[in-house]
Amino acid sequence: MNLDLLPLALADGFSYAGLLFLVALGLTLIFGVMGILNVAHGAMYAFGGYAAASLVQAIVNRGGEVPSVVLVLALFVAAIVVGVVLGCLLEIGLLRRVQDKDPVLQLLITFGAFLILDDVQLLIWGGTPYSASEITGRLGTIELFGATFTAYQLVFIPLVALLAYGTLQYFLRYTRVGRQVVAVTHNAEVATALGIHAKRIRLVTFIVGAILGALGGALSVPNTSLVPGVGTDMIVLSFSVVATAGLGQITGALIAALMIGMARSLAVYTFPEFEVVVPYLIMVLVLLIRPYGLFTVAQARKI
Amino acid sequence: MLKKAPAKVLCSLAVIAVCNSFSSLAWAQTSKPTTLPLGITTFLTGSASVFGIPGKAAAELWIEEFNAKGGLDGVKLSPVFIDEGLGGDKFLSEYRRVAQDAGEKVMLAAISSGNCNTVAPVAEDLKVLDVMWDCGTEKILEDRRYKYVVRTQANAVTEMVATVVYLLKTKPDFKTIAVINQDYAWGRDSWEIFRNALLSLKPDTKIVAELFPKFGAVDFSTEITRLQALKPDVILSTSWGGDLDTFARQASQRGLTKQSLLVLPLAESSLERLGTALPDGVIVGARGDHYFLHPETKNDPKHKEFVEKFRARTGSYPIYPVYHMVAALEGVVAGYQAAIKKNNGQWPTTDQVAAEMHSLKFRGLTRPVQMREDGQGLEDQLLGVTKKVSEYPFPVLDKIMIVPATAVTPPIGEKSPEWVKKLKPDLLTNDQIKTFDYGG
Amino acid sequence: MIAGILSVIGAAICLVFGLIFPWMKVPIIVGLCYGLAALGVAVLMRAGQVSFGHAMYSCIAGYTVAFFARAYPALDGLLLVAAGVVAAVVAGAIIGLFVVRYREIFFGMLNLALSMVLYSVLGKFYEITGGTDGLRLERPPFAGFHFDRSGYETALLVTALLASLVLGALVQRYFGSAAGEALAGIKTNETRLEYLGMSARRILWSGYMISAALCGLAGALVVLLQGLVTPELGYWVRSGEFVFIAILGGSAHALGAFIGAVVFQVIQLVGTMLLAGTWKMLLGATLILVILVAPTGITGVLPIKRWGKSREPKISLQPIAGER
């Protein structure tokens, strides 16, 4: 591979990383606040995507001239609805009951929820592929470094990812609810003693995390297609980002997503056979050297 | 006392079980069954289901009509569908479950060359007739002589060599080629043959990239960027199903189709779904001579009637998996009928039917298929280029060429890799190749 | 004692059913293999660690069996199984050296990551590993005999039953031994264990190798049964299923893994045959139910005191005489 292909590889990696970051962000947020590694996050991704595809198709089928803004908004609407509905269902119905149990049991309960949701998804939407490529076509293309990219993939997705990151950081640092979330993350007991409604905070956080996961799925639909199994693949991929970054690290997740995204697209240009291995290889290497992730802050151990 | 009793019970139960299995073996072969189960495998979930579900619809439609007309010498056919989308090992369990069931049956497997590779030895072992109705890998019937496994359609060699012929006749002076195929048996084997055939007939071709994204991948963005950077004259892809749909859409959105000539030997099955995503001039093949606007048979009553019935039932025009399914079913029925005749009207054994399948000539909906001694079917190949017309909301095929199978299939006993290296340029001027224009 | 008798009766029932209904042999063998693998996971669960990547050892053993069977078709099936188990143990030993430094979620995640690396590598290197299509192997001779399909399945059934009985008994002995109790000590209080002069890492490492061997045996048998190995054997969902069965059965007794496997197979059969296409839903619902209602699994709920020595310390709330 010659060096003038490098900018292309980076551009590809950039857009891939954007999507990965959105999904990983939701996962790491939930872990940070609730201490639960949510396996059902993959189902959020899948449901968000399928719901978005169905919504867009329904709007397009109604006929008439539909402005692109409406279609793009439909993606967000679908993601929010899915996030709220599934988030509430899971948090209130399931996670509250296992709050004080072993973290492994909490993880397994989300695995059980994931299995159920996987079948529900098959029942609702069936086995055929879903996509919404009309949106990508409408947003046009961009010429960069001698190759043509779709504006949707190159600009829109990374933009949304960065926006989500910025909004979340602002939310956590400068709003009251956000600060309460940080407090609950550090020490739920003390936060409750100080009058923070930890239960409600947890619910809000879970819903936000679920929306982010669903948004990842919804945004992937115009560019690719959804088939049964995307949730299962996405969950391990986002695990690799989250574990590499350190559980609960938001900025770390951004950097890790970029790292993995770039590494993967570089692999396609240099050693294409390694493309699928790269994210997990990075995860293993990072975990072997720094078991708690790249960006974890040392925490005092309570005995 | 307590120790002996269970042992005695166990022994007697074992004897009963053994006797049972023997008796069922003795009677199964010679008596005529009331129904003949057909174990049909197809993709019902996943990316490839857009390809597999029409095949299922075709089977159901054809079998319903066939049974209504009286069935096979009075025996009704009953299809049992197995999902290839379950993944290699779960699929094998399901296949075995159906194939090992007591009673006579015929298996029709499979679409995926990977799955065919897996089940062919199993069928041979179980002595069950298995008709490979859609998979293309030539290695199965070349590497080993099968008694019970046959293929009622062409294999990768016939198709890829025909594609090379069409490419060289259409665009004889291209310099560079890249390939992007699915990473499994078909994707790898088909490229190997295409590459060797191309290099035999045009040795100065330069291969700039060989990309093999995984089977069922939903995103080809990075691969497309790489292809754009390399700017090959020709891009080959033997992908099919949802993978091809996604690739074609993404390639079209990003202008790759304007830069390079796309050669898609399996794209006839995606034409209607892709609609306007494919521009004019893309070379498209149909894995056989299967096209609803086949120049020789589009007005043939059997073909035309089936197209209309299929369209009424599913809302779409039939694609080549549909044709392959019909051909396989016609082949099985023809095989049974030939065996019954040879058996003086008696219901034949599996061995007799299998033997007939190795010398049959039958017709699906288009040109007839000739079965060879090694179980391989000879099926002529149809290729064309896309062209937008006002009559249909998707491109049709123009400049159609039908290449006879005998010209592009290695003879029995010769291995494809060697045979392909011996190809001569006079193949391109073979006078049996017929050409047709759209509307002609 | 009771557990032992129950196991033998269960094995006899399996054998009889397998002989009377030939179609049941395959699901029973698969169920037993799931049980063996879950037993491996249960060994680690004793130490409080849950591995989400143990399917990789089944995968390693399976591919080893396939490689050897293809290279040397005359090799006996039992030898192939042995080769597979050895490969799994060696891999387990090497990987275990790194992995035993971690606990809890990180232990699980590192195992998951390694299994996904293996899965991806196996799926990509088409020339060597057959890619996603996997590797096929012809039926090898078994215990010196050349069986037909039906006899071969019976032979595998007998082997699987014997292996399950013997290994179940051995693992239960292991649990009761000093090494096994030390393993449980890692869960209760690792620091205290270290203060007693034992190396928690070394204990966990030996437990890890045992679990790798069990998963490897399961993988080797399944691959011999199917005649096919694909990377799916090492996918994370498969590891999740092993964990599910181990939780369902509980890690209090070795028999738990097999009870869990039976329940798992029943749910799958009900899900595929009766309510088509909903078996994952049933599995998920069962898992959730078990965790909410009986997190120690079936063997944790049943009166295990009568099955062997009680494992859980009795906490008495009565003050000791003389204290206030």
pLDDT in tens, chain C (324 residues): 788 888 899 899 999 998 888 888 888 999 999 999 999 999 999 898 999 999 999 999 999 999 999 999 989 999 999 999 999 999 999 999 989 988 888 898 899 999 999 999 999 888 888 888 889 998 899 988 888 888 999 999 999 999 999 999 999 999 989 989 999 999 888 999 999 998 999 999 999 999 999 999 999 999 999 999 999 999 999 999 999 999 998 888 888 899 999 999 888 888 877 766 778 889 899 999 988 888 888 888 776 544 545 455 555 565 655 554
- Give the pLDDT confidence score for residue C322 in this predicted structure: 55
Residues from chain C contacting residue A122 (CB–CB below 8 Å): 277
Does a structural domain hold residue C53?
Answer: yes
Does a structural domain hold residue C39?
Answer: yes
Give the chain B residue nearest A135 (alpha carbons): B253
Q: How far is A200 from chain C (nearest CA, A)?
A: 22
Does a structural domain hold residue C277?
Answer: no
More confident position, A104 or B149:
B149
Number of domains in chain A: 1
Domain that holds residue C44: 2-235
Residues from chain C contacting residue B113 (CB–CB below 8 Å): 133
Binding partners of C (≥3 Cβ pairs within 8 A): A, B
Tell me the per-residue pLDDT of A244-256, one tens digit each, with 9 for 90 and over.
998 888 899 999 9
Q: How confident is the model at residue A45 (pLDDT cuts 50, 70, 90)?
A: very high
DSSP for B87-110, written as a single string: -HHHHHHHHHHHHTSSS--EEE--
Give the chain C residue nearest A276 (alpha carbons): C120
Q: How far is C298 from chain A (nearest CA, A)?
A: 15
- Give the pLDDT confidence score for residue B16 in this predicted structure: 47
Strand order in the sheet with B261-264: B206-211, B176-180, B234-236, B261-264, B283-285, B381-387, B396-403, B434-436
Does a structural domain hold residue A19?
Answer: yes
Q: Does B270 touch chain A (CB under 8 A)?
A: no
- Give the pLDDT confidence score for residue B428 in this predicted structure: 86
Output the 3-class SS for chain A.
Answer: CCHHHHHHHHHHHHHHHHHHHHHHHHHHHHHHHHCCCCCCHHHHHHHHHHHHHHHHHHHHHCCCCCCHHHHHHHHHHHHHHHHHHHHHHHHHHCHHHHCCCCHHHHHHHHHHHHHHHHHHHHHHHCCCCECCCHHHHHHCEEEECCEEEEHHHHHHHHHHHHHHHHHHHHHHHHCHHHHHHHHHHHCHHHHHHCCCCHHHHHHHHHHHHHHHHHHHHHHHCCCCCECCCHHHHHHHHHHHHHHHHCCCCHHHHHHHHHHHHHHHHHHHHHCHHHCCCHHHHHHHHHHHHCCCCCCCCCCCCCC
> Which one-letter DSSP state was computed for residue C309?
S
Tell me the per-residue pLDDT of A149-194, one tens digit each, with 9 for 90 and over.
888 888 999 999 999 999 999 999 999 999 999 998 888 889 999 9
Of A108, A280, A287, the CB nearest to C120: A280
User: Average pLDDT in the A48-65 region?
Assistant: 90
ipTM for the predicted complex comes to 0.88
- Give the pLDDT confidence score for residue C317 in this predicted structure: 60
Q: How far is C143 from chain B (nearest CA, A)?
A: 20
Does a structural domain hold residue A295?
Answer: no
- Cis peptide preceding B110, ω within 30 of 0: yes
Q: Which two tokens stand for residue C249?
A: 């059965």
Does a structural domain hold residue A194?
Answer: yes
Q: Does B218 touch chain A (CB under 8 A)?
A: yes
pTM of the complete model: 0.88
Q: Does B314 touch chain A (CB under 8 A)?
A: no
Q: List the CATH number of the domain containing A25.
A: 1.10.3470
Q: How confident is the model at residue A23 (pLDDT cuts 50, 70, 90)?
A: very high
Q: Does B179 touch chain A (CB under 8 A)?
A: no
Does a structural domain hold residue C107?
Answer: yes
Give the chain B residue nearest C20 (alpha carbons): B17
Of C240, C235, C27, the C-alpha closest to C132 is C235
Number of domains in chain C: 1
| Yes or no, beta carbons of B249 and A230 under 8 Å apart | no
- Number of C-alpha atoms within 13 angstroms, CB side, residue B429? 3
Give the chain B residue nearest A273 (alpha carbons): B212
Please say whether the dihedral angle defined by the alpha carbons of residues B371, B373, B375 and B378, taken in this order, is positive or negative: negative
More confident position, A127 or C228:
C228
Q: Largest Cα–Cα distance of chain C, in whole Å?
A: 77
Average model confidence (pLDDT) for chain A?
Answer: 89
For an interface test with B, give the residue of A128, A154, A230 to mutate (most B CBs within 10 A): A128
Give the chain A residue nearest C124 (alpha carbons): A273
Of A108, A280, A284, the CB nearest to C291: A108
| Yes or no, beta carbons of B13 and C139 under 8 Å apart | no
Tell me the per-residue pLDDT of B178-231, one tens digit each, with 9 for 90 and over.
999 999 999 999 999 999 999 999 999 999 999 999 888 888 998 999 899 899
- Give the pLDDT confidence score for residue C230 in this predicted structure: 93
DSSP for B123-185, written as a single string: HHHHT-EEEE-S---THHHHHS--SSEEESS--HHHHHHHHHHHHHHH-TT--EEEEE--BSH
For an interface test with C, give the residue of B47, B124, B184 to mutate (most C CBs within 10 A): B184
- Give the pLDDT confidence score for residue C163 in this predicted structure: 94
Residue C91 near residue C57, CB atoms below 8 Å: yes
Of B92, B126, B183, the CB nearest to C226: B92
Residues from chain C contacting residue A36 (CB–CB below 8 Å): none
Q: Does C104 touch chain A (CB under 8 A)?
A: yes
Give the chain A residue nearest C115 (alpha carbons): A280
Domain that holds residue A112: 3-289
Q: Which two tokens stand for residue A231?
A: 């949730």
Q: How far is B189 from chain C (nearest CA, A)?
A: 11
Q: Does C308 touch chain B (CB under 8 A)?
A: no
Q: How far is B160 from chain A (nearest CA, A)?
A: 24
pLDDT in tens, chain B (440 residues): 444 444 444 444 444 444 444 444 444 446 888 899 999 999 998 888 888 999 999 999 999 999 999 888 889 999 999 999 888 888 998 898 899 888 899 999 999 999 999 999 999 989 999 999 999 999 999 989 999 999 999 999 999 999 999 999 999 999 999 999 999 999 999 999 999 999 999 999 999 999 999 888 888 998 999 899 899 999 999 999 889 999 999 999 888 998 899 999 999 999 998 888 899 999 999 999 999 999 898 889 999 999 999 999 999 999 999 999 999 999 999 999 999 999 898 899 999 999 999 999 999 899 999 999 999 999 999 999 999 999 999 999 999 999 999 989 999 888 898 899 988 888 888 888 888 888 75
Phi, psi dihedral angles at B191 (to 5 degrees): -65, -40
Residues from chain B contacting residue A119 (CB–CB below 8 Å): none
Q: Does C150 touch chain B (CB under 8 A)?
A: yes
Does a structural domain hold residue A298?
Answer: no
Q: How far is A123 from chain C (nearest CA, A)?
A: 8
Q: Which two tokens stand for residue C165?
A: 């009985």
For an interface test with B, give the residue of C15, C16, C28, C132 to mutate (most B CBs within 10 A): C132
- Give the pLDDT confidence score for residue B1 in this predicted structure: 41
Does a structural domain hold residue C175?
Answer: yes
Of A109, A232, A283, the CB nearest to C291: A109
Does a structural domain hold residue C151?
Answer: yes
Q: How far is A44 from chain C (nearest CA, A)?
A: 16
Of A174, A156, A176, A202, the C-alpha closest to A30 is A202
Q: How far is B393 from chain C (nearest CA, A)?
A: 36
